[in-house]
Every structure is written in C-alpha cells, then in structure tokens.
C-alpha cells in the first residue's frame, strides 16, 4: 500500500477549519457558528506516533473525524499519501480509505453486537475489492492472531469478550487492510488501568512490527507521553504548542500546557497539601469554548500571564527562539518545538 | 469567595467518639444462576472523624457497592450482612430512619453530574430540597441557605443565578452543584464515588481541591472512591486497595505508596505510565516489568462467579504458590496500620 512513497510525510493537515452551525437563539437571529478547528496544521510522518492532547471540547475528536474524511472541513486540506482526501471522488476515497483506519473509544459501542467477530474484522476487506472466501478467512485469522486473540474467536460474538479483548477486536479490524495510519481516538480511556497497559503495549508492538503511524488522541497526558514521539496540545480548536514529546513535556512553554501538566495527579503522597480557605493561588476559570471571541488568544481568559496584546491579536504558532534560553539553544530537537504564545515559559525564565 | 464566615454546621464537641464510621464484616451477596455469590466479602475498616479514606480498585471490585451498602442504597436483589456502625448499625435501621441520615449526616457525590441532577429543576431548588427536608426550613429560608452553600462551592450569586438549570452549566460547574447538595445539611461523612472521572484534568484538580477544602474546614470525613492512584495519593490520609470484593491492602496513604506490598497494588502502580518519569526510572523491580513497555498484570479481573476460594488475585499473580488459590490469606501487619492480605507480600520498599 505504501510502496511508492518518496517523501516521509504520510499525513499533512494544512490550515484546516471546521465550523459547526449552532441552533439559533431566537427565530430571526443569525445562526451562530462554532469553530471546532481553527486553522490546524500538522504533519505525521510514516511510522511515527503523533499525539494530540487537550480538554474535552477542544476539537480533538473533530480533527480525528476530518482526518478520516468523515466530515469535510470548510477550508484547508488534508493530504494522505499526497492525495487531498476531501477533493477525491467517493470511489477514489474508498480506495484510499484502506490505508487509513480508526480505533474508537468505546469498545462496547463500536462493535455490532449482532455480527460475529469474524464478520466484524472482515468488514474493511470490502475496500480491497473481490477476494476468495479462503483468502478472507486467512486474513481474519492473521489479524486476530496479530492482536493476541485466537483464530477460533472469529465465530464468537462481541458480548463474549471483556472490554480489553473487545478493544483488541477493534484493533484487528483496523489492522486487516494493512493501513499506514491508524487514528486512535481515546483508545484506552474506557478500559481499566491494568488492561489499559496491555492494549497500549499491543499498540506499540504493532507499530514496531508493521511500521504503523498513529494519530493518537487522548486527554491522558501520561499515556500520550508514553506512546508518542511528537505531540500537539490543542486548545479551543487551535494548536497552542507542538513538538517532540520528550522536549515538550520537559520544557513546556505555553501556560496552558504547563497548567495541564500541573493538574495531573501524581502517585506521590508527599504532594498532598491541605488547601486552606484563603489559598492565594489563582483559580482557573472554567472554559466555555462556545463563547470565545475569534480575536486574540483563546486561552487569554484563563491565562495567569495575560496582557492586553493577548486579548487582541492571536499569537502565531512559531518555533521557540533559540535565544530564549541558553540551555535549550544547543538542543537541535527544539527546532521543531513550536508555541503560540507571547510569553512562553523560557522567555520568562531568562528575563 | 470561599471564606468561611460561618460554618454550615455546628462542630460537634471535641470529645466525640474518634471513629465516625466502623464497618465490620460487611458482606453483600446476590443470587446468581450458579448460586449465591458475594459481591463484597468481609470488609472491615474504620474511619476517624475529620480524616479522609481513599478506596482504589478497578471496575467490578465492589468499591461503589461498598458505598451503596453504607448508604443503604443497594439494589433489591442484593442483601448486606455485617455491621455498619455510624451512631447505630445502619444496616439494621428501618428505611424511615435511614432517610433521616441519608443526605443529612452522610451524603454522596456521584460520578456523573448530569445524571445526578434533575434536568427540569433549577439548581437553587435542588440544593434547597434537602435543607427543607432535613432541617425543616421554610421555602424562603432554605433558598437563602442554599444560595450561601452555592457561594461556598464557587458559584457566586452574581454570576450564577439560582434559577439556572443544569444544562446551562458546564461539567465542572454541575459537579459543584452536586457537591453543594451533598454538603448543604452539613453532613459528618461525605462519600464521593469517582467525583472527577467525567471531568477534564484541570477541572478535576479544582474539584478535588474544593472537596479537600470543604472537608477540612467543616471537619467532615471523606470516603473518596476512585480508580486513579494519583487522586488517592494526593487527597487522602488512609487508603484501601480493593480487588474482586475484598480489601487486599490498607494503611496510611504514604505507607502504602512507599511499600506497595500486595502484588496487585504493585502491579497496578507499575501499569500506569507516569507523566513525569518513565517506568525504568521508577526502578520498580516487579516481575512484570520490561524495558520501554508498560508493565501489565496478565489476565483480567475475574467475574463474581469465577472467584476462587483462595486469594482472588492468585491466577494473575506472579508470586502465587500452591496454597494461594485454595486458602484465603489473612491480613498481615506490615507496619503501623499498614497491612496486606497476601501470603507473600513484597517486603522491600519501592
């Protein structure tokens, strides 16, 4: 499927805008629009795991659906293996879809309870055209074997499996067309902690074995850190920070990324502190993505470092200047580390 | 905004009994086609006044059932035996008396704020409801008091009208309303069942801080039920680790995290990726761990009817030996208040 690729970029998302029309407040008032994706650009190379993090409502799942060509963006383009998905005709899109698969969040909702596992897993094969019955069964058996299930399980039905096993079935279904990219939208958030680790290990094994690329969407920062090599932090439909996972987590620049990282509970009881009534730490207001103005930084209303400029002109996503910090300067990895903020952390630290 | 000019409840005098809640041999059983099965098996624990107790475990381990059993809210097909001492034995109280305790002395914060709130009633009314019921306040007094409580949980009147409906609020704000309802009558014990699972991390941090603050100021006790080890580590004094209806490890939170004595606790801890350090840096010497991969606990949680006579974790455990699956291990004392129900607990610290 991906034999004739010359350049390494597998998926290119360029300035994608996706708006939803909200219900009108009054009969004759103009319908409001909600911008779920506001000029998102990113590149996923083949064999790479790219993480997307952000809170609910920030547009992560909309991005997944637009990448899967389940929804068309209002502007911008999404190129998969050099082809603009949203410019393709339906028939051509079907051909491309084989290289692009998705794993959904809820393994209870994403598998048809009335189809046998074999039928569920074989369904995407229709994309590859006619196929003999024998060949089909062989491929199903191979896919099930790949995810650690027995080929005999093909005759069973989803209700006979536990949550973790169901997610394995969903992975087998995604894998059967030998895709180059798998979009995983919160693949383990419905699973128990001990089972989560099993599924994540499986996903890493498959990546190594088949050279898969993942677009890994999650709200769980620790999982994203473990699974991905690059990561983008989204807020209100925009990417606010992007870079290699290790660099971004170690040297988070955007105040939102820093707040997000600080909010993750750690398994360290010594961090426990009794909050007193008049604790002076600023309370972060609750975001309301629907009421955000289009001008200025979307995070301005929650940001502790906000100044006038932030409210009026949106900061552009740009590389961190090497001069910001002497420590970061020599690290070539930071070249890819971009942030959309007037006051990134290292700039503050040095000034 | 959260200054406590006036506590919502008169503090009980300091000579009050130390243990607010004592649970003895709590067993919850139900009928299954394979016979009677125990959802909870002989739970024993105590909770001191003003302390917080974390309960961790995976889904199906019975942690929510424990909360329902204490509150007397078990489904009809389940029966509880044993003792839940809270003043008197709650399990033997008639429903009418239980109603006077529920929402008044013990109240609950639920996981999913949208389904815990009534969508067709304004938030002010919903908070006032329990005040009118338990405190015999007039409609007007109750509304005023409810307004004060909502102020305290971070929903000031100026911004959040008392006549708003739940759908007009965000998830975090809704959870604040649920907390306001829970603490309206000034309970002595709050049971929070996965209070932040449906929320984003930044909102989760706020809600947990709010609960901790209220519990501390009002000198309430807290049972915090969660599957998130991080939440327990940061918010509780004592903790219980539950597996398949039994308590497998218990102790002061810092002691449990220092030792991770039970193989299940250790396996659970090792299987979560850490946002700060990688697994190899953690230096966990478990048999499960492999480099660069997450360590996993093999297998899955057994269903209720599959549970063995012995240790329920035996078939997934790397340290299990012949007697594990046939004999039930007693809790072994490992330190002050710290014990694990295992024949072969890890003795070396993490």
Task: Verify that B207 and B62 share a domain, yes or no.
Answer: yes
Q: Looking at chain B from residue 292 to 331, which residues have their Cβ under 8 Å from any Cβ of chain A?
A: 293-297, 300-301
Q: By C-alpha distance, which of B35, B27, B26 is closest to B306? A: B35
pLDDT of residue B17: 54
Positive or negative: CA dihedral B282, B284, B290, B294: negative
Which residue of A192, A200, A222 is in closest CB contact with B274?
Answer: A222
- In this structure, the answer to whether residues B32 and B166 fall within a common structural domain is yes
Percent residues over pLDDT 70 in chain A: 85
Whether residue B266 is found in the same domain as residue B170: no
The answer to whether residue B228 neighbours chain A at the CB level (below 8 Å) is yes
Residue A156 corresponds to which tokens in the numbers above? 């069973």
Same domain, B84 and B205: yes
What is the radius of gyration, based on Cα positions, of chain B? 21
pLDDT at residue A273 tops 80: no
* pLDDT at residue A159 greater than cutoff 50: yes
Residue B281 has a pLDDT of 43
Task: Tell which residue, B249, B253, B291, has the closest CA to residue B266.
Answer: B249
In A22-148, the DSSP E strands lie at 33-45, 49-53, 75-80, 83-84, 100-103
CATH number for the domain that contains residue B175: 3.40.50.300
Domain membership of residue B197 (yes or no) is: yes
Question: Which chain B residue is nearest to residue A58, measuring alpha carbons?
Answer: B200
- The pLDDT tens digits for B122-176 are 999 999 999 999 999 999 999 999 999 999 898 988 888 999 999 888 888 899 9
Q: Are A129 and A98 in contact (CB under 8 A)?
A: no
User: Which chain A residue's Cα is nearest to B231?
Assistant: A265
Q: Which residues contact A330 (CB under 8 A, 6 or more apart)?
A: none
Helical H runs in chain B? Answer: 63-71, 95-101, 113-116, 123-135, 139-152, 171-183, 201-217, 229-235, 253-259, 263-270, 279-282
Which of A132-146, A149-163, B125-139, B296-310 is least confident? B296-310
Do B106 and B225 belong to one domain?
Answer: yes
> Are B220 and B104 members of one domain?
yes
Q: Are residues B184 and B35 in the same domain?
A: yes
Q: Which H/E stretch holds residue A199?
A: helix A193-210
CA distance A269 to B255: 9
Domain ranges, residue B323: 251-341
Contact predicate B203/B171, CB 8 Å: yes
- Which of B236, B266, B300 delimits the end of a domain? B236
Q: How many CB pairs under 8 A join A and B?
A: 137
Give the tens place of pLDDT for each residue, B28-53: 999 888 888 889 989 999 999 989 99
The structure tokens listed for B164 are: 């708003």
Q: Does residue B5 sit within a domain? A: no
Half-sphere exposure of B56 (CA within 13 A, CB side): 28
Of B205, B236, B267, the position where a domain reaches its end is B236
Residue appearing with tokens 């995604």: A174
Is the minimum CB–CB distance between B138 and chain A shorter than 8 Å? no
Contacts with A193 from chain B: Cβ below 8 Å: 58, 227, 229, 268, 271-272
Residue at B96 is within a domain: yes
Asked if residue B242 belongs to a domain, the reply is: no
* ipTM score for this prediction: 0.77
Whether A267 sits inside 8 A of B233 (CB atoms) is yes
Nearest to A234 by CA among A208, A260, A210: A260
Confidence (pTM): 0.82
Mean pLDDT of chain B: 85
Is the distance from CB of A251 to CB of A324 less than 8 angstroms? no
Q: What is the bridge-based pairing of β-strands A83-84 and A75-80?
A: antiparallel
CB A53 within 8 A of CB A242: no
Quick check: B60 and B242 in contact, CB under 8 A? no
| Best residue in A186, A190, A194 for a mutation probing chain B (most B CBs within 10 Å) | A194
Assess contact for A102 and A124: CB atoms under 8 A: no
- How many domains are there within chain B? 2
SS3 label, residue A278: coil
B29 and B119 part of one domain: yes
Domain limit, last residue, from B167, B201, B236: B236
The verdict on residue B255 lying in a domain is yes
Band (pLDDT 50/70/90 cuts) for residue A121 is very high
Q: Are residues B82 and B226 in the same domain?
A: yes
Cβ B275–A193 below 8 Å, yes or no? no
Q: Measured between CB atoms, which of B4, B228, B296 is closest to A197? A: B296
- Is B162 a domain residue? yes
Burial class of residue A270, CB neighbours in 10 A (0-12, 13-18, 19+): exposed
The string over B313-346, giving b where at least 16 C-beta atoms fall within 10 Å of a residue's C-beta and e elsewhere, is bbebbebbeeebbeebbebeebeeebbbbbbbbb
For residues B114 and B179, membership in a common domain is answered with yes
Q: Indicate if B321 and B213 belong to the same structural domain.
A: no
A21 within 8 A of A33, measured Cβ to Cβ: yes
What are the C-alpha distances in Å from B285 to residues A66, B226, B260, B269? 44, 26, 11, 12
**Burial category of A336 from C-beta neighbours within 10 Å (exposed 0-12, middle 13-18, buried 19 and up):** middle
Handedness of CA A157, A162, A166, A169 (dihedral sign): negative
Q: Please check the confidence at residue B216 and state whether its pLDDT lies above 70.
A: yes
Band (pLDDT 50/70/90 cuts) for residue B206 is confident
Higher-pLDDT residue of A335 and A263 is A263
The chain-wide mean pLDDT, for chain A, equals 83
pLDDT digits (tens, 9 = 90+) for A13-57: 999 999 888 888 788 888 888 888 988 999 999 989 999 998 888
Residue A185 has what DSSP assignment? Answer: E
For residue B6, being part of any structural domain is answered with no
B349 CB within 8 Å of a chain A CB: no
Average pLDDT in the A64-93 region?
A: 91
Chain B nearest-CA distance from A94, in A, is 35
For residue B184, give the DSSP letter: T
Does B260 lie in the same domain as B222? no
Pairing of strands B106-109, B338-341: unpaired
What is the 8-class DSSP label of residue A59?
S
Asked whether residue B232 is assigned to any structural domain, the reply reads yes
- Residue A255: CB atoms within 10 Å: 23
> By the 8 A CB rule, do B197 and B27 touch?
no
* Residue A76 per-residue DSSP state: E
- Looking at per-residue confidence, does A175 or A348 come out higher? A175
Nearest CB neighbour to A198, from listed B200, B204, B296: B296
Q: Catalogue the E-assigned strands of chain A.
A: 9-21, 33-45, 49-53, 75-80, 83-84, 100-103, 181-185, 213-218, 230-235, 238-244, 318-319, 338-339
Burial status of residue A151 (CB atoms within 10 A of its CB: 0-12, 13-18, 19 or more): middle
């Amino acid at each position: 499927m991906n034999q004739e690729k010359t350049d390494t970029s597998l998926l290119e998302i360029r300035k994608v805008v996706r708006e939803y029309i909200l219900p009108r407040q009054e009969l004759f008032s103009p319908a409001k629009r909600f911008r779920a994706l506001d000029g998102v650009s990113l590149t996923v190379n083949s064999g790479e795991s790219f993480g997307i993090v952000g809170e609910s409502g920030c547009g992560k799942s909309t991005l997944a659906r637009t990448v899967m060509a389940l929804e068309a963006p209002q502007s911008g383009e999404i190129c998969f293996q050099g082809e603009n998905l949203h410019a393709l005709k339906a028939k051509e899109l079907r051909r491309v879809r084989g290289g692009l698969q998705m794993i959904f969040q809820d393994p209870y909702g994403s598998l048809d309870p009335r189809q046998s596992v074999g039928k569920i897993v074989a369904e995407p094969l229709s994309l590859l055209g006619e196929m003999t019955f024998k060949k089909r069964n062989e491929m199903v058996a191979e896919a099930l074997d790949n995810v650690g299930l027995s080929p005999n399980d093909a005759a069973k039905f989803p209700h006979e499996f536990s949550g973790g096993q169901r997610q394995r079935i969903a992975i087998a279904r995604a894998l059967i067309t030998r895709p180059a990219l798998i979009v995983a939208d919160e693949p383990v958030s419905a699973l128990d902690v001990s089972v989560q680790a099993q599924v994540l290990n499986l996903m890493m094994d498959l990546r190594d074995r088949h050279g898969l690329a993942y677009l890994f969407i999650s709200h769980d920062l620790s999982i994203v850190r473990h699974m991905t090599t690059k990561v983008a932090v989204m807020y209100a439909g925009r990417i606010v920070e992007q870079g290699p996972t290790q660099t971004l987590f170690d040297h988070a620049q955007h105040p939102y990324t820093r707040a997000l990282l600080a909010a993750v509970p750690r398994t360290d009881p010594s961090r426990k502190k009794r909050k007193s009534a008049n604790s002076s730490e600023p309370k972060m207001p609750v975001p309301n993505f629907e009421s955000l103005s289009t001008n200025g930084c979307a995070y301005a209303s929650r940001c502790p470092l906000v100044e006038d400029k932030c409210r009026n002109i949106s900061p552009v996503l740009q590389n961190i200047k090497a001069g910001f910090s002497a420590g970061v300067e020599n690290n070539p990895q930071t070249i890819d580390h971009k942030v959309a903020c007037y006051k990134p952390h290292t700039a503050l630290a040095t000034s | 905004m959260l200054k406590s000019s006036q506590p919502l409840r008169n503090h009980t005098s300091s000579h009050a009994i130390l243990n607010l809640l004592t649970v003895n041999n709590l067993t919850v059983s139900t009928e299954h086609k394979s016979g009677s099965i125990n959802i909870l098996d002989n739970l024993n624990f105590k909770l001191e006044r003003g302390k917080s107790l974390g309960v961790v475990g995976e889904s199906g381990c019975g942690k929510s059932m424990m909360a329902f059993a204490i509150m007397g809210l078990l489904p009809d097909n389940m029966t509880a035996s044993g003792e839940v001492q809270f003043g008197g034995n709650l399990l033997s109280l008639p429903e009418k008396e239980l109603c006077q305790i529920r929402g008044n002395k013990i109240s609950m914060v639920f996981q999913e704020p949208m389904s815990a709130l009534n969508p067709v009633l304004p938030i002010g009314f919903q908070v006032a409801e329990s005040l009118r019921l338990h405190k015999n306040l007039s409609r007007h007094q109750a509304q005023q008091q409810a307004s004060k409580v909502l102020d305290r949980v971070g929903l000031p009147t100026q911004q959040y009208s008392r006549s708003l409906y739940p759908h007009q609020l965000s998830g975090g704000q809704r959870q604040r309303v649920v907390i306001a309802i829970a603490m309206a009558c000034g309970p002595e014990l709050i049971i929070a069942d996965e209070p932040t699972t449906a929320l984003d991390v930044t909102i989760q941090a706020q809600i947990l801080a709010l609960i901790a603050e209220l519990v501390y100021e009002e000198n309430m006790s807290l049972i915090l039920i969660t599957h998130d080890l991080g939440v327990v580590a940061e918010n509780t004094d004592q903790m219980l680790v539950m597996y398949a209806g039994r308590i497998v490890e218990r102790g002061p939170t810092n002691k449990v995290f220092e030792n991770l004595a039970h193989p299940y606790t250790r396996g659970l801890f090792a299987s979560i990726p850490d946002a700060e350090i990688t697994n190899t840096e953690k230096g966990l010497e478990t048999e499960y761990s492999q480099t660069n991969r997450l360590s996993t606990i093999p297998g899955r949680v057994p269903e209720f009817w599959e549970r063995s006579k012995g240790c329920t974790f035996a078939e997934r455990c790397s340290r299990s030996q012949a007697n594990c699956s046939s004999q039930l291990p007693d809790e072994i004392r490992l330190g002050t208040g710290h014990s694990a129900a295992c024949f072969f607990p890890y003795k070396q610290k993490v």
